[in-house]
Structure 1
Amino acid sequence: MKFFDWIKDFFGVEKSMIFINQNALASNEALVAIKDFALCSAINLIAGVLSKCEFKTYLNGIEVKGDEYYLWNIEPNRNQNSTQFIQEFISKLLYYNECLILDINGQLIIADDFTQTEYAVLENTFTNVTRGTMKFDKTFKMSEVLYFKYSNNDVQRLLSELMNGYNNLLKMAIGKFKRSGGRKGILDIDATASGDKNFQQRFDDLMNNRFKTYFEAENAVLPLHRGFNYNEQNGEGSKKSTSDMVDISAIVKEELDRAAQAFKIPTSLLRGDIADVEKITDNFLTFCIDPLSDMVGEEINRKRYGKSAFLKGSYVKADTTCIKHIDIFSISESFDKLIASGGYSIDDLRQKAGDSPLNKEWSKKHWITKNYSDVQDMKGGEK
């Protein structure tokens, strides 16, 4: 028989045992919250960054702004703007490893739940599709929807299994921290007190009310019945150690790092470190954001444009170059070189910097300095 079970049977203690179980439950909830915090921090970072992308639309190789541009950049449906839509879309894609988007009468609707039936050669189908309180009584074919799958493995499930191990370590560290700062004592009970007819009532009141008030108060006096003698056990073990807190922070940091790794985010970026932030941001855009934006663009192009239109130069492209903040004064020399080499027009660069284009004939032209010339024209090292 366990020690606490023996105490329970001997004294008939019920309330104090329930109090201990409630503390354990609160501790478990805290551990789950830390795991969800790490996961949601990574997902929200990616979703927020991708919502800043501009979906550029092209018709026969020429950039245009029409209905498709408005749909993806301003208003996908009546209830969401583009930022809200993209953030929900990416969050569901990363958390559930897949996301389904429907085109309902020209509106893009993100499904909350669905059932997919997979085939080897025929089109996959989607049934039991729901959004909010609405259920669509229709079987959707793969060609009729936009279906996105983030990874062949369920990242969220694998990450949760990994973090369960860290949670066990964190639980031990929290327990150690609580014990190091907790107040401890020894309660002596005389045989005469335990034989009193009101013993059970007095014991319950002492354990569940008086001790609780005594330990929680900054200054307090503990009145005891005859036969009860309490001795406080204070010493070095009751002092909180800074190393205990360091153990807790190290495990929380480790959970954040593993969440960042799972989604290809630089660990220092998710933790909020500012050292070498420019290089870290470039790494984040290259290995995390660009592959996601490419996947989104490919699915849109193959479903909403098709092979024939795409080969003729009609497509959508998620432009990630507008994600980073641009300080026009710090890149003025780069602007000059881009215009001088003919790579971009003045209006192109004004839009990149967040300014409105001038829309003048000369601002739309591409200029090149006389320092550049055709290599075929170079004879004897000089022209």
Structure 2
Amino acid sequence: MGFWSWLKGKTLGGKSVEVSTETLQKYVDQEKMAKLVMEEFTIHAAINLIANCISKCEFKTYSGGKENSGEEYYAWNFEPNLNQNASQFLQELVAKLLYNNECLVIESKGQLMIAEGFVKEEYALKETVFSHVYRKGLTFDRTFRMSEVLYFRLSNKNIRSLLSNLCAGYDELLNEAVDKYEKAGGEKGTLKIDAIASGKKYGERSFEEVFEDLMNNRFKIFFNSRSAVLPLFDGFNYTKQAAEQSKKSTSEVKDITDILDEIVETVARAFSIPVSLLKGDVSDVEKITRNFLTFCIDPLCEMIQKEINRKRYGRKEIQKGNYLKIDTTAVMHIDVFDIAEKIDKLIASGMYCVDELRQKLGDAELGTEESQMHFITKNYTELSEVSDVKGGDTG
């Protein structure tokens, strides 16, 4: 945002200022700061929504085309490193990817770690090299080649930077709308001062001191108080001005809410999130969640999945049926009683066995021979068999 960019690197009295909440509070009042963080709040809400969804996904691993649960499965679903579980790791990965447009993951001593900072050198015909990679105060004294790391990148454009530039205009509109709202209900009046008052002494204070205290302190407290009394000296006479509109109208409030809605809608479109989902609307949640999965979560998981497969498996292993797949079906909450008939249909058609369906529903697999068998009812048969039966009946 414009204010943040201005304050970063600004020096006050020859001393650099660290940009933090505490620092801002020294120079910006709370109301103005609330306006400044609206864009950041909306972007973080969108990123957290996406990160939380992907952290619920299951990273399935396959060996020879069949699902297995080896070391790779454990790393992505339970413990990628000693200090993070899989959910924390994935939330940080997605948040950094969406906020910074890129994220670097390295492996050290069998642990997957997300780099907090790095220097990247790109080449046309050689591998990109990453140096000065650091995490939690540790800077690695070696360089990493592109083939040795997982490097996730969204696009050549930084979405957050584009949003910041776009939302800068909204900040100005929001400030104007808030000012209009405040003025609509503000009190106005006239202060009459007798000519002789300007030359009088008020105890030990001069007229200028009394006047400055009245205008800068007493009137401010008087106007901001719900109930108050304003003491005036001889020669001062305050008269309230009749206002055309004493109460704040709904139009001023609507101006503010419209701009806030515009910010939310802009951020939602940038991250391919249904607007109603980011706003928290509860109507038709199932439908908008499907759209969210289709246009936001699935493409992001596809990109993450491909980078993992090409770096940690490689072409030869993938051709042998060894690969990783991100299952996004776990994102939506499933009520087993709502889909009981569909479960029966999936088993009856031979599409899934009992254990496969129990896994999708989040239940423990039975692990028996019967629960792993596929069944098909007599309703499902080849067309030729049906014709033979009809022919036999008419013969």
TM over 0.5: yes
Deviation at residue 167 of structure 1 after TM alignment: 1.6
C-alpha displacement of 1:170: 1.2
Q: Any residues of structure 2 matched to 1:1-383 within 5 Å, and which?
A: 26-196=30-200, 198-375=206-383, 377=385, 379=387, 382=390
Q: Is the partner of 2:150 in helix, strand or coil?
A: strand
User: What value does the CA root-mean-square deviation take over the aligned residues?
Assistant: 1.9
1:151 deviates by: 2.1
Match of 2:22 in 1: none
Q: What SS class does the counterpart of residue 37 from structure 1 fall into?
A: helix
**Contact 1:115–1:128 under 8 Å retained in 2:** yes
Query: What secondary structure is seen at the aligned counterpart in 2 of 1:167?
Result: helix
Cα drift, residue 242 of structure 1: 1.3
**Given residue 275 of structure 1, which amino acid in structure 2 is its aligned partner?**
S
Residue 16 of structure 1 corresponds to none
Q: 1:75 to 1:209 in 2, by over 3 A?
A: same
Structure 1 residue 382 displacement after superposition: 4.9
Compared CA separation, residues 243 and 69, structure 1 to 2 (3 A): same
Q: CA offsets, 1:311-369, max 9 Å, x none?
A: 10111111001111111111111111111111111000011111111100010111111
Partners of 1:380 and 1:154 in 2: CA distance:
64
Distance 2:28 2:133 in 1: 39
Partner Cα separation in structure 2 for residue 238 and residue 37 of structure 1: 33
Partners of 1:42 and 1:382 lie apart in 2 by: 60
Structure 1 length-normalised TM:
0.90
Counterpart residue type for residue 121 of structure 2: T
Alpha-carbon offset, residue 378 of structure 1: 5.7
| Structure 2 alignment gaps of length 5 or more | 1-25
Displacement, 1:246? 1.4
Give the AA of the match of 1:264: S
CA contact under 8 A between 2:188 and 2:243: conserved in structure 1? no
Query: Quick one: which amino acid aligns to residue 69 of structure 1?
Result: Y
- Preserved CA contact (<8 Å) 2:191 2:236: yes
- In terms of mean alpha carbon deviation, does 89-98 or 151-160 score higher? 151-160
Q: How big is each residue's C-alpha offset from its partner over 1:12-62, in whole Å with a ceiling of 9 and x where there is no partner?
A: xxxxxxxxxx99754542222111121111111101111100001111111
Q: What is the identity, as a one-letter code, of the residue corresponding to 1:66? A: G
SS in 1 for 2:120: strand
Q: Closer, same or farther in 2 for the Cα pair 1:256/1:191, shift >3 Å?
A: same
CA contact (8 A) 1:103 1:109 kept: yes
Amino acid at match of 2:365: P
Preserved contact between residue 94 and residue 150 of structure 1 (Cα < 8 Å)? yes
Q: Secondary structure at 1:321's aligned position in 2? A: helix
| AA matched with 1:127 | S
Contact 1:31–1:167 (Cα < 8 Å) also in 2: yes
The alpha-carbon deviation at position 208 of structure 1 amounts to 2.8
One-letter code aligned to 1:297: Q
**Aligned-partner residue type, residue 211 of structure 2:** F
Structure 1 letter corresponding to 2:299: P
TM-superposed CA distance for 1:216, in Å, is 2.6
- Pair 1:313–1:43, CA change in 2 (3 A): same
Residues 181 and 239 in structure 1, CA contact (< 8 A), matched pair in contact too = yes
| Deviation of the 1:200 alpha carbon | 2.3
Percent identity over paired residues: 54
Deviation at 1:381, TM superposition (A): 9.0
Instruction: Tell me the SS of whatever aligns to 2:362.
Output: coil
Task: Confirm or deny: 8 A CA contact 1:179 1:238 kept in the other structure.
Answer: no
State the aligned residue count. 362
